[in-house]
Structure 1
Amino acid sequence: MAPNNVDRLSILPEEVLSHVLSLMPTKYAVRTSILSKRWRYSWTSVTNLDFDDHHPFHDLHCLKTFIDRILSLCKTTQLNSFRLSFGEMWPPKSSVSKWINEAVRLNVSELYVKANLIDLPSLFTCMTLMKLSFVYNEGGYCNFTSSIDLPFLKTLIITIFGPSSFNASKIIHGCPVLESLFLDIDCGGNDEDYNFNIPTLKHLEIRTRKGLGVNQVVMNLPDLESFYFQGSLSSNYMTSRFVTVDMSSLVSATFLCNYSRSTELWVEVLKGIAGAKSLSMSIPYMVPPNVPLPNFSNLKHLELKSSVRHCIVPPQQNVDWLLFPQILENSPELEHLCIEGDSDDSGWIEPQCVPICMLKSLRTIKFESGQLWKSNIKILAYLLRNAEVLKTATIVSRIFPLEEEMRFCTELLKLPRASRYCETHFHGSLSHSASI
């Protein structure tokens, strides 16, 4: 209140009040209608609508009545975002469809739908939608049989919980300007293909909990800049194929494969992303040490994660170190190397030849492990002894007591270094750090 007892909040312009109310959940924005006559209908001009089945909705009828009432009174002509999130209640498919139809009528730009029963025919011809995100719960029903035409959709986020025959290609083909695609799904049927033929796509993220159990994945993505994959490449299917048509613009890639029944499939994916400048990867269990790896001719930054952390089957030996020399040999321009995770160097075999990157380009190394002192000293010694242009080596230990950390620092002093300008930084688990 101002000194003259003027309500400064209430005299704000209507568009400012509408913006403020749009930043809060809809059920709270509606409550402002009881403040005064001035506030009674201020909320009807909000540009964001947010509905969920949490308090204060005690039953499904109460929830449906509230949403129907709000949508009937809403006066906005351009809805920025519309969110429906139902985790506990199961609104009927007809009600969900009706609410989405209202959002389409209000020219919605961003839509988020989480429901057990989904049928979206009107949505798939929406001319204003730019971002679509939906979560399909296990045991529900999802219908995507209608034709799809989303001419301005740039971001598509799909999460599927539980078994489903859903195929993202059904939606992708109707999105001619798609730029970002995020898929979090269980495995589909073996009789389907994923054909990612999207000339405009810049970001692709795929997460799978049981594997991509499909016949073939085709990647024709000439403008793709970032690629992320985490999960299993296949579950029970041995015939899956990964075909790269064009990924020539790829800058960064993350490939965290925790399991693959086919070494050839794993290598195919690796070949498709080999042109990236930045790569984060893990090597799954069952990949043999003599598998031929692609050349990473553009690679500047490499992050290797331990296979133990991402493996669903306990490995008999750590194949990370068996393939490590080949990875370095195939990365002639590598400048930054980060090794993360707990592993055992018992499978380490020191190569006879020093990789080119260690002689000419490798400048920084980061080694993070909870078992660094006991298990990984051989690899660290090899890197320091052969990296001739190395400038910094950072070692992070997460679980050791102080006396063990000091003993490790002492051991580091004894390791020979090829680079006379290399600084070694040690960060311990007790916020202890040292430069050597």
Structure 2
Amino acid sequence: MDAKRFVLRSCCSRDSISCLPDEVLSTILSLLPTTKQAASTSILSKRWRYLFTVFDTLDFDDSDTQVKKDSEPTTSYVFPESFKNFVDRFLLQTTHPINKLSLQCHVGKDDDPQKACVSSWITNVANRGAREIDLRIKDKGIHYLPPRLFATETLVKLTIGTKLYLGTIPPNVSLPSLKTLFIDTVFFEYGDLCCVLLAGCPVLEELTVHHHNFTATPHTIASRTVKRLSVHYDSPIDVDGCSFMSFDMPELVYLEYSHCALSEYRQVNLESLVEAKLDLYPDKNAGERPDVTDLIMGMRNVHILHLSPVSVDVIYCYCRDGLPVFNNLVNLSMGITSKRGCKLLAYLLKQSPKLETLIIQDICGYTPAVSMPLNKVKMLHILDYHGTALELETFLLEFDCLVMVQVDVREAVEDNVITLQTKRRDLMMLLGASLSSKCQFKVT
């Protein structure tokens, strides 16, 4: 046995884990939740002292080390010197490429040294070829992110949040590899989102813009490359009185949009849209009556459409000029909680000549007085049904082309096992007697 094999065997007999190759040990360390925990393994032995420094995924979080600054209100926190020293030491000890940075920290409103630290950390990682950067910075003042972040050639995914005032973005944004951008409650100077940030992302494919309890939401979202867009605003009409929204996204395939119904949709260019999920709700404080006609008109090419129950009521009440013809719509899901919902369903069936799959959240409010037009619906799925068998039979008579029906029965508080079994049996008997022999049915 040669000396090398003898030493290896002796080592492994004492500590088999430490004898593993560096890349294996680094992979094991990378499974720990934070970089700080991984760094704590350096005290185990000389073999482990610098292993954590070869990480290509960094996760820094000051949530366990927040301290109140004496000069700040009780609601303001800053990261402590120990957190700063740890991040500084880690980034100075390593020079290898970084794949991902996740940074969560609190910064004092007027603490320029802390802001400078955060900028230097981000710049350090950007200079080392980062592909993914996730920034969750809490700063009650204006926080200028370093220009290097907006000119990172390797960056593929970028997340910025939360409740952050960015100030003016550098005008020469260049993110040639960025494909995914997530923005969570970030305040931009007017036009900076579309005219500066998105304009500097030539291959961007997925964009998420969320605003929570914020009064300065972007009114225009425009991109010639984005294919998937998620917009969730839960704030009321902006304090500046703006009550409009524009979407100029000719390549968009998938849209999620949750917002209060507005009085004006100035531009809705969604000609490639395949699937859309709408959650529109009324704003009681709005000065003008909503009108969602242009929004719905801009979505006329959609193939798959999901409407929340409140959206159904909003569209019925505030689509002033009526619905367009949905020539491509083949799959529709909607919540029906009132007679208005049944009337909108009838209208949608009339305006959707190719509709084949219909998913309904209950059919509350349906009466024979609301008749459905001739349609080509083949697949019908009713969720949370709590009506009677007779009511369901009356509704099913409105559809002549069904080949599959599924009814999911809602369990009421007072229901017991026997009651549920009885409901299911009654519905099964009804479907068996009412539907064509060619139609399959299921009750769950």
TM normalised by structure 1 equals 0.80
Instruction: Report the CA distance shift for 1:318/1:61 in structure 2 as closer, same or farther (over 3 A).
Output: farther
- Report 1:253-264 matches (<5 A): 253-259=276-282
The one of 91, 94, 98 equivalent to 1:71 is 91
Residue identity opposite 2:161 in structure 1: V
Say whether 1:44 aligns with 2:70.
no
- Counting matched residue pairs gives 399
Say whether 1:136 aligns with 2:162.
yes
Counterpart-to-counterpart distance in 2, 1:212 and 1:183: 16
Q: Which residue of 2 aligns with 1:155?
A: 180
Cα distance, 1:255 vs structure 2: 0.9
Residue identity opposite 2:382 in structure 1: F
CA contact (8 A) 1:387 1:418 kept: no
Counterpart-to-counterpart distance in 2, 1:348 and 1:174: 56
CA contact (8 A) 1:321 1:348 kept: no
- Report 1:52-67 matches (<5 A): 52-55=61-64, 60-67=80-87
Structure 2 counterpart SS, 1:322? helix
Say whether 1:295 aligns with 2:328.
no
Structure 1 unaligned regions, length at least 5:
309-316, 428-436
The one of 117, 128, 136 equivalent to 1:106 is 128
Counterpart-to-counterpart distance in 1, 2:331 and 2:15: 57
Say whether 1:332 aligns with 2:353.
yes
Counterpart-to-counterpart distance in 1, 2:368 and 2:257: 27
RMSD: 3.3
Counterpart-to-counterpart distance in 1, 2:151 and 2:28: 31
- Report 1:232-381 matches (<5 A): 232-234=260-262, 238=263, 240-245=264-269, 247-259=270-282, 265-282=291-308, 283-285=311-313, 287-288=315-316, 291=320, 292-306=322-336, 318-340=339-361, 344-345=364-365, 349-351=369-371, 354-357=373-376, 362-369=377-384, 372-373=386-387, 378=391, 380-381=392-393
Counterpart-to-counterpart distance in 2, 1:123 and 1:280: 37
Say whether 1:419 aligns with 2:439.
no
Residue identity opposite 1:144 in structure 2: T
CA contact (8 A) 2:271 2:298 kept: no
- Report 1:109-258 matches (<5 A): 109-117=131-139, 118-120=143-145, 121-137=147-163, 141-147=165-171, 148-160=173-185, 168-169=193-194, 170-186=196-212, 189=216, 193-196=219-222, 198-211=223-236, 213=238, 214=242, 216-234=244-262, 238=263, 240-245=264-269, 247-258=270-281
CA contact (8 A) 1:271 1:294 kept: yes
Identity of aligned residues (%): 25
Structure 2 counterpart SS, 1:86? strand
Residue identity opposite 2:131 in structure 1: S
CA contact (8 A) 2:383 2:409 kept: yes
Instruction: Report the CA distance shift for 1:185/1:331 in structure 2 as closer, same or farther (over 3 A).
Output: same
Per-residue deviation, residues 65-102 of structure 1 (Å, max 9, x unmatched): 111111111232x2111011136988832222121111
Counterpart-to-counterpart distance in 2, 1:161 and 1:124: 16
Counterpart-to-counterpart distance in 2, 1:389 and 1:87: 60
Counterpart-to-counterpart distance in 1, 2:187 and 2:203: 29
Structure 2 counterpart SS, 1:334? coil
Say whether 1:395 aligns with 2:395.
no
Counterpart-to-counterpart distance in 1, 2:95 and 2:62: 23
- Report 1:78-93 matches (<5 A): 78-86=97-105, 92-93=114-115
Structure 2 counterpart SS, 1:65? helix
CA contact (8 A) 1:164 1:188 kept: no
Look at both structures and tell me which one has the larger radius of gyration over its CA atoms: 2
CA contact (8 A) 1:199 1:222 kept: yes
Cα distance, 1:248 vs structure 2: 3.2
Instruction: Report the CA distance shift for 1:263/1:321 in structure 2 as closer, same or farther (over 3 A).
Output: farther
